Amino acid sequence: MKINILIVLSISFLIGGCATSKPPMYDYGNYSESFYAMKRNPGEKSEGEWKSSLESIIERSNASAIRVPPGVFANLGYLYLKVNDTENAIKNFELEKNLYPEAEVFMNNLIKKAETQG
Amino acid sequence: MMTIKKILRISITLAATSFFLSGCVSPTYVTKANEFPGMYTEKPRSLLIMPPINLSTAADAKDYYATTIEMPVALHGFYIFPYTLTAEVLKQQGIYDSELAYDIPLNKFREYFGADAVLFTKILKWDKTYVVLAANLTISIDAEIKSTKTSEVLWKYNGTVVVDLSGNNNSAGGGLAGLLIIAIVTAANTAAADYTRYAKVANGRFIGSVPFGPYHPLYLKDQDYKIIQQKTK
């Protein structure tokens, strides 16, 4: 009986071990495709698609509880900065800085720029 | 009649010759820590990707490279500064399309971006070759990671990658009709916008020998990983 329980336990452990696959490190969605499209055909349309691609990366990452990839918040903030929405620009630069302390110097420079612009 | 001694002598010579010949093609393996000690002593956390210097004949290589390089480096564990922004800033400084950046003291990048290290790349070759049933993308790249503290080279790479663009899809069936389908699939694949996917694959292979960065689970655990030693030019 005891042995049976042990076997069942070890089998379920094995199966469980196989089934747990690690989540991907980042979910980039169609980041490079929309980035490339924007480089190739700069304009409102491709920039809009780039923006929604960034927003969808953030949504999808949050939904699957993984870290938003480096630079996504900063890219989004920059799009807001370009249309003079300084409030949203600064908000996103702060988010980038909080998520990645490595970005602090650059984000502070961009925030300073946004503040003088706004 | 051959004596045993003679036979032995001949086989030893043959063995030595074949050993020598195979020695010419087999690569030398080294550990990451031996090859790139600076990466482990300086432990850079953030990388600034410089716009590539494009020496290939493909004018679009720069865009393909630029839009696909961030991901593999980030997935390798480093903080990557957003390329659209940094390229814009560098452009304003007049260093977008030239080799000028090589001459700028690297601590400037530390001051403005807070970057620990800078990734320089030269695209030497970016060629699509079409044969009847397949298409290949051949990419030759020279790359360097340099410290913004000491300007020392922490990592370098020079090499060529060939990516098969035909998608490894041989499920089209046998016979001439099958061959034709593969050919059409190949042409469609290389023409489509998902070409960035292949550029991504090619770009991703270059960074295999880079020690992992701080956001990777193997950060500071890959010192003993074996890599192929680079030929010094």
pLDDT digit string, tens, across residues B154-206: 999 888 878 776 655 443 344 444 444 444 444 444 444 456 677 777 777 77
Residue of B nearest to A109 (CA): B112
**Taking the domains of chain B in order of start, what are their residue ranges?**
27-166+195-212
Per-residue pLDDT of chain B (233 residues; tens, 9 = 90+): 556 666 556 555 555 554 444 445 567 889 999 999 999 999 999 999 998 888 988 887 888 888 888 999 999 999 999 998 998 888 887 776 656 666 778 898 999 999 999 999 888 988 877 766 667 778 888 899 999 999 999 999 888 878 776 655 443 344 444 444 444 444 444 444 456 677 777 777 778 889 999 999 999 999 999 888 876 54
CB burial readout B2-37, b (16+ within 10 A) else e: eeeeeeeeeeeeeeeeeeeeeeeeeeeebebeebbe
Residue type for B66, please? A
- Name which of A27, A41, A98, A106 to mutate to probe chain B: the one with the most chain B Cβ atoms within 10 A of its Cβ: A106
Residue of B nearest to A33 (CA): B196
- Name which of A75, A76, A102 to mutate to probe chain B: the one with the most chain B Cβ atoms within 10 A of its Cβ: A102
ipTM, two decimals, is 0.81
Please write down the HEC assignment for all residues of B85-140.
HHHHHHHHCCCCCCCHHHHCCCHHHHHHHCCCEEEEEEEEEEEEEECCCCEEEEEE
The minimal CB distance from A106 to the residues B45, B68, B114 is found for B114
By the CB < 8 Å criterion, does B45 face chain A? yes
Across all residues in chain B, what is the average pLDDT?
A: 77
Q: Are B189 and B135 in contact (CB under 8 A)?
A: yes
By the CB < 8 Å criterion, does B192 face chain A? no
Joined tokens for residue B40: 């482990």
- Among A84, A85, A112, A83, which Cα is nearest to A97's? A112
CATH number, span B27-166+195-212? 3.40.50.10610
User: How far is it between the farthest Cα atoms of chain A?
Assistant: 76
Neighbours of B112 (CB within 10 A): 16
Global pTM? 0.78
